[in-house]
Amino acid sequence: MSVSKFPTRVVIHSKDVENITGYMPRTARNLLQKIKRLVGKPKRSLVTIREFCNYTGIDEELVREFLKR
């Protein structure tokens, strides 16, 4: 049984969105806010990687591999 050094992340943060998309910090935050509104989440809730990928159309495996670095 293989145990990963790093736990698998479930949520994505604005800094991750900046690094993945090349967006400026404010644009990355606005994108996450837009996803929250679309999904119907409260302001203080977190956006999952799956929700981000569904909205942007980016393959979830690509994002997860990127976040492992």
What is the tens place of the pLDDT at every residue in 5-60? 666 889 999 999 999 999 999 999 999 999 999 999 998 999 999 999 999 999 99
Residue 5 covered by a domain: no
Instruction: Let me know if residue 3 belongs to a domain.
Output: no
| Gap between the Cα atoms of 54 and 23, Å rounded | 18
The parent domain of residue 43 ranges over 11-68
Res. 69 pLDDT band, cuts 50 70 90: confident
**Domain annotation covers residue 6:** no
Total domain count, the chain: 1
| 29 part of a folded domain | yes
The structure tokens listed for 40 are 């119907």
Q: Which two tokens stand for residue 24?
A: 């400026």
End-to-end CA distance of the chain: 22
> Residue 3 has what pLDDT?
58
pLDDT beyond 90 at 61: yes
